[in-house]
Amino acid sequence: MRRTPHGRAVATGALVAVTAMLGVGIQAGTGTAAAPRPGTTHAVPRPGALPAKLSPSQRAELIRVAGATTARTARLLKLGAKEKLVVKDVSKDVDGTVHTRYARTYDGLPVLGGDLVVHRSGNGALKGVTKAVRSQITVASTTATVHPAAAAAKAVKAAQALGSKKTAAAKAPRKVVWVADGKPVLAYETVVGGLQDDGTPNQLHVVTDATTGARIFQYQGIEKGVGNSEYSGKVNFGTSGSAPNFTMTDPTRGNHKTYDLKHGSSGTGSLFTDADDTWGDGTPQNAQTAGVDAAYGAQETWDYYKNVHGRSGIRGDGVGAYSRVHYGDSYVNAFWDDSCFCMTYGDGSGNNDPLTSLDVAGHEMSHGVTAATAGLEYSGESGGLNEATSDIFGTSVEFYANNPADPGDYLIGEKININGDGTPLRYMDKPSKDGSSADYWSSDVGNKDVHYSSGVANHFFYLLSEGSGAKDINGVHYDSPTYDGLPVPGIGRANAEQVWFKALSQYMNANTDYAGARTATLQAAADLFGQGSASYNTVANTWAAVNVGSRVPDGGGVTVTNPGNQTSTVGQAASLQIKASSGTAGALTYAASGLPAGLSLNASTGLISGTPTTAGTSSVTVTVTDSAKKTGTASFSWTVNAAGGGSVFENSDDVAIPDAGAAVTSPITVNRTGKAPSALKVGVDIVHTYRGDLVIDLIAPDGTAYRLKNSDPYDSAANVKTTYTVNASSKTASGTWKLRVQDVYAEDSGYINDWKLTF
């Protein structure tokens, strides 16, 4: 589905170190799936739509097969001659459905923002495609006007403006095609190294137009966020070796290793070793204690993804990441770095409060999962979704752990006490309690720091898991509000986790915004529970509860869009499409009473058509019935004027509409005295393969434009065959009127077949 192109907020201030420390871990061997609280019931997902547990070798084989057929897949998707596909990730459902995520290249250049997911059934049949952008990729030339050194210099200045230290381009800028905003642009991507203002390593990605030198976009690549642990009590975790040479290497989880940086800020440091395999003493003064917490958090995050989502490791390839503790001096942060595939933890203020709690581990390592799947850009609304995803799965890991020393909750960072007053960093039930996060979506939410814009999705997940209103869970009191003041029931945390993971791994992409996240989670809910099911409707209503989209009708009822009063003329063909929707899956049935003589309604499609035979005014009522026998109605009047009561002027010459090109016009010369009517009828017949591409205007003889139709990137239906009504009473009727049509998106095309004016 086409995503609406949208502006992206470019970060203008340093990331807030306090909110960069988030995540959750779990206790090995004691993990349990989230169950409904006593007294509640929730729907069970369709088993076939749940993720299959793939071994690394099974996943590798699926990737090999997909990689061997990329050229055929590109042809099937009608990509351009210079476009190629590169397999990025693959997942499989229990019913055999395979979801393959591809990156694109154009003439050998990486395409940023052009990723797509192909969905195939178990027998290989194409089920659908989820695209970041629908555009075919094409640029006038791949020869840059701007020199790479100029792009690098601009990128370094951008990093310095954010407070970066020891700043320099990590490597020469690479030439790319940037398409995340909908229009392909030849660009440079420069990665700036050094340190951020708080000592965190810097990986600022700056995208620069290779023709004009203008900065297009930027985002930060570093995503913050028996042993005796400090936060989780006495725990068991994987080690290797034998006395007196045990090491913190977990052989059952991809050989994850835990290193001691000893307050350095580069390299891996020293692998933790111990003589008797009993590690740490639960205090920050013992260097091993932070290592215990980090290793425990890593192993439990691994177990959560494997046991709940069938994912073997962060990338799904069975390879373990590694962890580094005791980074820097009094470094109040923790971060995931995808370039080293590693987690790094500071020791906090005065080196007394290591940021190695379970939720930090789960949060930060989930950034790696996001990078390996949707790759949500760390800026604007997609950056907020990236951060929220880590909060969501960090919280999920904490509940899964079932560790009595750190019970599951919807509080973020409650153990590490960064604020110094014992309060959490963030609250999922009411994010604004932290003083900065957004409870609900607004048009400027993407301008917030990503840790605060994440509040919208965090709030959604809490409401989807638990529902609104006051309740107590594991000793914590919550009272979650909704934007519209209406309650939502929740579907249970286990179901909410499955919805979010499926949406992330199979339907989101790098530049998904909140509207796109709603679409992705609804598709995931349709797969898991059925379109129009109670759980599907709850997902839609929960998004409405955080001001993203609208609620569906209560109880799965039918909504009929009132088309407004209609006017026709005896002897002239008329048509009207009735639009309706239902929260219940299945076909709709249409019926009507009071239609003017000569008109009839198609019971299956809802199209009213025919040629009126008798003048007069009728009261029309349309009734729509869904598969559950629920109904909705719309009533309106239909006036039929006598023949000769109006004049029809028509142009039936075809006019080609160029794909993503300039506007075209079709003229009609009107020879009629006096003013145009207040209900001027504009009949339009346009043939087009994706009508949402089109913007349509009526141009009066004096040049005044009347907008008939805006573009709609989500309206994928074909053709525009309808009649618009325009109040043109201030204009002289005589003269040349024009129908102006422009295709504003690439990939689809069509032509003006016919249009007419009825005065």
332-385, pLDDT tens digit by residue?
888 999 889 999 999 988 898 898 888 889 999 999 999 999 999 888 899 999
At 365, give phi and psi (nearest 5°). -70, -25
pLDDT digit string, tens, across residues 691-702: 888 999 999 999
Residue 421 confidence (pLDDT)? 73
Is 22's pLDDT higher than 50?
no
Q: Is residue 608 a contact partner of residue 578, using CB atoms and an 8 Å limit?
A: yes
Q: Is residue 214 a contact partner of residue 208, using CB atoms and an 8 Å limit?
A: yes
Assign 714 a pLDDT band (cuts: 50, 70, 90): low
* Residues of the chain above pLDDT 70, percent: 91
Mean pLDDT value across residues 588-593: 92
Assign 34 a pLDDT band (cuts: 50, 70, 90): very low
Q: Which of 135-144, 195-204, 637-646, 733-742 has the lowest mean pLDDT?
A: 637-646
Q: What is the DSSP string of 459-472?
A: HHHHHHHH-SEEEE
Q: Which residues touch 428 (CB under 8 Å, ≥6 apart)?
A: 391, 395, 410, 411, 412, 458, 459, 461, 462
Task: Name the residue with higher pLDDT: 545 or 171.
Answer: 545
Element (H, E) at 117: strand 109-120
Residue 26 confidence (pLDDT)? 26
Compute how many other C-beta atoms are within 10 angstroms of the C-beta atom of residue 420: 9
Q: Which of 6-20, 506-520, 584-598, 705-719 has the lowest mean pLDDT?
A: 6-20
Joined tokens for residue 196? 């951020």
Mapped onto helix, strand or coil, the DSSP state of residue 499 is helix
Q: How far apart are CA 568 and CA 570, in angstroms?
A: 7
Question: Average model confidence (pLDDT) for the chain?
Answer: 86
Q: What is the DSSP string of 215-266?
A: EEEEEESSEE--EE-SSS-EE----EEETTEEESEETTTTTEEEEE-TT--S
Q: How far apart are CA 643 and CA 611, in angstroms?
A: 12
Residue 718 confidence (pLDDT)? 85
Is 562's pLDDT higher than 70?
yes
Q: Nearest Cα to 193, choosing from 144, 227, 160?
A: 160
pLDDT digit string, tens, across residues 261-307: 999 999 999 999 999 989 999 999 999 999 999 999 998 999 999 99
Q: Is residue 358 a contact partner of residue 290, using CB atoms and an 8 Å limit?
A: no
pLDDT digit string, tens, across residues 154-189: 888 887 877 777 777 777 899 999 998 778 999 999
Task: Name the residue with higher pLDDT: 39 or 548.
Answer: 548
Q: Which of 208-212, 596-600, 610-614, 636-640 has the lowest mean pLDDT?
A: 636-640
pLDDT digit string, tens, across residues 191-226: 888 877 767 787 888 899 999 988 888 877 765 445
Is 564 exposed, middle or buried (CB count within 10 Å of its CB: 0-12, 13-18, 19+)? exposed
Which regions of 469-597 does DSSP assign to beta strands (E)?
Answer: 469-473, 476-480, 558-560, 566-569, 574-577, 580-582, 589-593
Cross-strand partners of 206: 190, 218
Cross-strand partners of 188: 175, 208
Tracing tokens 């850009």 back to the chain, one arrives at 377
Q: Nearest Cα to 232, choosing from 91, 463, 23, 433?
A: 23
Tracing tokens 């040629």 back to the chain, one arrives at 611
Phi-psi region of 61 (alpha: psi -120 to 50; beta: other; left: phi over 0): alpha
At 227, give phi and psi (nearest 5°). -130, 160
Residue 17 confidence (pLDDT)? 25
Is 133's pLDDT higher than 80?
no
Q: Nearest Cα to 254, choosing from 365, 161, 402?
A: 365
Q: Which residues touch 129 (CB under 8 Å, ≥6 apart)?
A: 77, 116, 117, 118, 119
Mean pLDDT value across residues 135-143: 85
Residue 566 confidence (pLDDT)? 80
Tell me the pairing of strands 174-178 and 109-120.
Answer: parallel
Is 252's pLDDT higher than 90?
no
Question: Among this protein's residues, is 364 annotated catalytic?
Answer: yes
Assign 29 a pLDDT band (cuts: 50, 70, 90): very low
Mapped onto helix, strand or coil, the DSSP state of residue 436 is coil
Question: Among this protein's residues, is 451 annotated catalytic?
Answer: yes
Joined tokens for residue 289? 């204690």
Is 48's pLDDT higher than 60?
yes
Q: Is residue 277 a contact partner of residue 246, using CB atoms and an 8 Å limit?
A: yes
CA-based end-to-end distance of the chain: 39
Q: How far apart are CA 518 and CA 533, in angstroms?
A: 16
pLDDT digit string, tens, across residues 109-119: 999 988 999 99
Q: Is residue 545 a contact partner of residue 488, using CB atoms and an 8 Å limit?
A: yes
Q: Which of 189, 300, 364, 387 is catalytic?
A: 364
Domains of the chain with bracketed CATH: 556-641 (2.60.40.10), 648-758 (2.60.120.260)
Is 319's pLDDT higher than 90?
yes
* Residues of the chain above pLDDT 90, percent: 51
CA 474 → CA 408, 581, 582, distances in Å?
A: 7, 40, 38
Q: How far apart are CA 113 and CA 230, in angstroms?
A: 42
Residue 644 confidence (pLDDT)? 58
Q: Is residue 411 a contact partner of residue 427, using CB atoms and an 8 Å limit?
A: yes
pLDDT digit string, tens, across residues 386-421: 999 999 999 999 999 888 889 999 998 888 877 767
Residue 7 confidence (pLDDT)? 28
Task: Name the residue with higher pLDDT: 349 or 313.
Answer: 313
Mapped onto helix, strand or coil, the DSSP state of residue 111 is strand
Q: Is residue 88 a contact partner of residue 105, using CB atoms and an 8 Å limit?
A: no
Q: Which of 451, 466, 497, 747 is catalytic?
A: 451
Assign 12 a pLDDT band (cuts: 50, 70, 90): very low
